[in-house]
Chains A and B, each alone.
Chain A
């Protein structure tokens, strides 16, 4: 059975169709979930897509964390379910306290849409198991607030645990420790600023994003096998 992926649609989201298309192409069963719903359908992975949820007014992700669906997302995460936040989705997960830290304005004070090179520094997670440690990925970023920050103490423990999963090889936004993608302590919630769904087709410039998206599907499949 293929993995079931639920993509949450907030008002102002704009990468939900791209996420659906890229997960579709990898063989997942994708369902769109309205932010106003209070319950999640039966899904293995919840995706918070990029965009400008609620206009990103006040602060990025600040209003979206109060969308009705977010309690169910938190419960899904607490139960060990997989949650993936891409770009704005990452910002929402931080605001919601499901991931540590916060995302500030890029140091250059400009929106940046460009290809970046990432390094996989922890390949032993549900989001990176198709790669090997040290693998370079070519995946684009597209954000104004991607400058991840967390206090020193938390950063130290995150580094020790291997929670800084992806790093930029050339930091585009001032992000602490060159972090591009980070995980919670139990590795079932993952947020990254780069857009893996935009890098699943050589015609568009790269297929490396499929390693990230595909990893989640492999993880679900191996979980299912373990359960049997």
Chain B
């Protein structure tokens, strides 16, 4: 079976996110008050062959550990479709 996976990589909680902070400062100037907690991450989409959704998830999680995310500063979330 072919599965589509989406990996969301985000900065770890507690890790400063200057991109998020910059956007957070810019939005009020555009009239968007009350905005907080902006975090900027990245989204990776991929397709893979696997016997079932569990195996697909396992494999993508492994990819995240090894390459797609840096566990020192990032967390990730995998969605399989």
Contact = CB atoms under 8 A, between A and B. Distances in A.
A173 to B, nearest CB: 10
A149 B74 CA distance: 12
Contact of B19 (A58, A94, A109): A109
Interface residues of A, number: 19
Interface in A96-124: 101-102, 104-109
A26 interface: no
Contact of A109 (B15, B22, B70, B72): B22
Interface residues of B, number: 10
Contact of A102 (B16, B22, B67, B70): B70
Given A109-B22, A149-B73, A104 B15 contact: yes
Contacts of A109: 18-19, 22
B19 A102 contact: no
The 9 closest A-B pairs by CB, nearest first: A102-B72, A102-B73, A107-B18, A102-B70, A109-B18, A149-B73, A59-B70, A104-B73, A105-B18
A62 B72 contact: no
B68 interface: yes
Residue among B15, B19, B22, B72 with the highest chain A CB neighbour number at 10 A: B72
Interface in B22-81: 22, 67-68, 70, 72-73
B57 to A, nearest CB: 21
A58 B16 CA distance: 19
A109 B15 CA distance: 15
A107 B16 CA distance: 9
A59 to B, nearest CB: 6
A174 interface: yes
A83 to B, nearest CB: 19
Contacts of A106: 18
B22 A95 contact: no
B16 A174 contact: yes
A155 interface: no
A154 to B, nearest CB: 9
20 contacts: A58-B67, A58-B68, A62-B67, A62-B70, A94-B72, A102-B70, A102-B72, A102-B73, A104-B15, A105-B18, A106-B18, A107-B16, A109-B18, A109-B19, A109-B22, A149-B72, A149-B73, A150-B72, A151-B72, A174-B18
A175 to B, nearest CB: 11
A107 to B, nearest CB: 5
A53 B19 CA distance: 24
B47 to A, nearest CB: 18
